Amino acid sequence: MSSNGPLLDLRGLRTHFRTDRGPVRSVDGVDLSVAPGESVGVVGESGSGKSVTMLSVMRLLPSPPAMHQGQALWKGEDVFGWGARRLRSFRGREVAMIFQDPMTSLNPYLKIGVQLTEAVQLHLGLDHAKARDRAAEMLRRVGIPVPESRLDDYPHQYSGGMRQRVMIAMALSCEPQLLIADEPTTALDVTIQAQILELIDAQRRASGTGLVLITHSLGVVAGMCDRVVVMYAGRVVEEGRTEDLFGDPRMPYTVGLLRSVPRLDVVTERLVPVPGTPPDPQRLPSGCPFRVRCPWAEARCAETRPELRDVAAPGAAPHRIACHVDITKAAPREPASGGAA
Amino acid sequence: MSDAPLLSVKDLRVHFPIERGVFFRKEVGRVRAVDGVSFSVPRGETLGLVGESGCGKSTTARAIIRLVKPTSGSIGFRGKDLAAIGEQEMRRDVRRHVQMIFQDPYASLDPRMTVERLVAEPLVNYGVARGAALRDRVSELLELVGLSRRHLDRYPHEFSGGQRQRIGIARALALDPELVLCDEPVSALDVSIQAQVVNLLQDLQERLGLTYLFIAHDLAVVRHISDRVAVMYLGRIVELAPSDAIYAKPSHPYTQALLSAIPIPDPALQRARRRIALEGEIPSPTKEYKGCRFYDRCPVREERCRSEDPPLAEVRPGHAVACWVAAKTA
């Protein structure tokens, strides 16, 4: 594999869950790649498959019930072919993950220092004293005052924002090449949220770490990501450079999402909601899963599920959408009145 | 506006004692969740209440509807002081006129009740309707919120989050309230669904002449729906102004920091913005303050702010700020 290939390359990744009532197609054919040092935002509503995609890559879902198909290539090697030993060095050392709720990711019975030194002792082979120095250094870098004394505190002695800082310190302590952050600030207050996002951004820029930021907030990706991937019903429906996707969204779902959110800097008399509700992954409609909510839907949208296609101008950076319709030419139908959620 | 406001809150305080001891309970401190809040809401208006967790915005609403007992202050509503009347009078005369919509429609609906029973419950409790008239009223309410009579016999788990919130709204409107307290009504909903519920709340206000107290941490949503906005910090209102004014000319340093922290979904704009960083985190509401509560974190603090508590005072007509520095420069 050449060194300038993507770090992570998902090809037709599917994760279905076996249940008594039939399979749940949470991730249903995802193509997505992340280059070294790149920051990619993955946006979607709950149930769109964004978290399950990343949990599949980390091989964190027990199988069964999770059934994987397709490939998840890490520097050209398929993670689904790896044994336990290879996975151990992959997780934490090469790729680190931060979750939404730091309280559920930290062990309440262990001191922060113990939890921080565990990873560096294991992955970097540091002795106890060196590991402790490194842990204190990491805490300082994420802005925890008097880190030496806070190493002997337990997680409950930290505030929510501090705990998320600890998670970031822990994730970056082994200098991974890719950081996956799954809604890292959703549980935090606005001013703390901004601090944490800036911290993640500054730290990953300093070390050249790639970032996958999973979020439902369009504002967060607008400020932080080079590229944005929009997911709907287990698939990527639009993908492109952040400026292109926000400036010229081409998939009707993205258009609807951008239009429905009130903005702080713009006065709107009335919001334009996306009609209907997200689909049940157990009962996806035929063809395009968004068609039942889509003002541009045509007869062919019910027949075949659209594949991702590039709509960028020749020579421009790729801008791909999974949609049969060219919304720059077709006119939308007026949405039906009422539109009960 | 010559009419008296529908709701008029004066110097409201809600303190929760922290007690120690088994036989002889002794108060060792108190959480000052709400600590001197005053505002009024004219009929038909929406007042937005924003702030970070722990600022007292939900406790303020809960005190108005007496889910918690106010420690002191007054709550004027329909000629009564809700802070002074007893539990029975509250239930008999007041509750039907003030209703609440909660954040989590998964937690606030009894999973064992059908939609019909859920929406009928307040009507039955107050003996408003029975039999066929009751069923008709419930159907009417469901249609009002964009559901239909087909849904009468279903259970909450059969609905999506947005639909459940509609059921919660139908329930809150069953008794024709005048004042509706909306506590984070769209925060738990999917992004594409939030706009549907926001639009519904606006339509209902117009049709029924409702007055809203709208609590949320999402300032963009609050700006969109509110006529005026009150920003809370540590149990106090620090700024209160018409919603356009608060976004165009935020005057309290906390409001400025809060607004600057909210991401805007526009890459060029968002990257060019400068965030006002605040030192530290929100302090504990158990602490007592002589001066301004924001002193420790304030980027523009002066000596006076440490010792003297700034009152909420108008710096422009209709725009009030609790800040010595803002008062000077306005």
pLDDT digits (tens, 9 = 90+) for B173-182: 999 999 999 9
In order of A35, A200, A261, A311, the CA distances from B266 in angstroms are 23, 20, 12, 21
Tokens describing residue A252: 């009707």
DSSP letter at B186 equals: T
pLDDT digits (tens, 9 = 90+) for B73-122: 999 999 899 999 988 888 888 989 999 998 877 788 899 999 999 999 99
Residue of B52, B190, B192 to mutate for A, most A C-beta atoms under 10 A: B192
Q: Is the confidence at residue A226, as pLDDT, over 90?
A: yes
The CA distance from B321 to the nearest CA of chain A, in Å, is: 20
* Residue in A with minimal Cα distance to B259: A264
pLDDT digits (tens, 9 = 90+) for A308-327: 999 988 888 999 999 999 88
Residues in contact with A40: Cβ distance below 8 Å, sequence separation at least 6, in sequence order: A32, A34, A210, A211, A212, A213, A225, A226, A227, A228, A229
Residue A306's φ and ψ, nearest 5 degrees, are -70, 140
Q: Is the confidence at residue B1, as pLDDT, over 80?
A: no
Which pLDDT score is estimated for B207?
92
Cα–Cα distance for residue pair B57/B49, rounded to 1 Å: 6
Nearest alpha-carbon partner for B56 in B14, B11, B17, B104: B14
Assign B42 a pLDDT band (cuts: 50, 70, 90): very high
Q: Is the confidence at residue B11, as pLDDT, over 80?
A: yes
Q: Average model confidence (pLDDT) for chain B?
A: 90
Query: Is B14 strand, coil or helix?
Result: strand
Cβ separation of B146 and A341 shorter than 8 Å? Answer: yes
Identify whether the C-beta of residue B264 lies closer than 8 Å to the C-beta of residue B270.
Answer: yes
Query: Is A171 strand, coil or helix?
Result: helix
Q: Is the confidence at residue A1, as pLDDT, over 70?
A: no
In order of A23, A66, B161, the CA distances from A20 in angstroms are 8, 13, 24
Cβ burial, residue B275 (10 Å; 0-12/13-18/19+): middle
Assign B284 a pLDDT band (cuts: 50, 70, 90): confident
Q: Which of A128-142, B121-135, B224-238 ranks highest by mean pLDDT?
A: B224-238
Assign B288 a pLDDT band (cuts: 50, 70, 90): confident
Cβ separation of A262 and B163 shorter than 8 Å? Answer: no
Query: CA A250 from chain center: how many Å?
Result: 21
The verdict on whether omega for the bond into residue A64 sits within 30 degrees of 0, i.e. cis, is yes
Quote ipTM for the complex.
0.81
Cα–Cα distance for residue pair A246/A236, rounded to 1 Å: 16
Q: Given CB atoms, is A257 within the 8 Å cutoff of chain B?
A: yes
* Strands in chain A per DSSP E: 8-17, 24-34, 39-43, 66-74, 77-78, 95-98, 178-182, 210-215, 227-232, 235-241, 309-310, 320-321
Assign A4 a pLDDT band (cuts: 50, 70, 90): low
Averaged pLDDT, B1-25: 84
Q: Average model confidence (pLDDT) for chain A?
A: 87
Cβ burial, residue A208 (10 Å; 0-12/13-18/19+): exposed
Averaged pLDDT, A68-91: 91
Nearest alpha-carbon partner for B94 in B169, B6, B170: B6
Cα–Cα distance for residue pair B127/B138, rounded to 1 Å: 14
Which pLDDT score is estimated for B330?
66
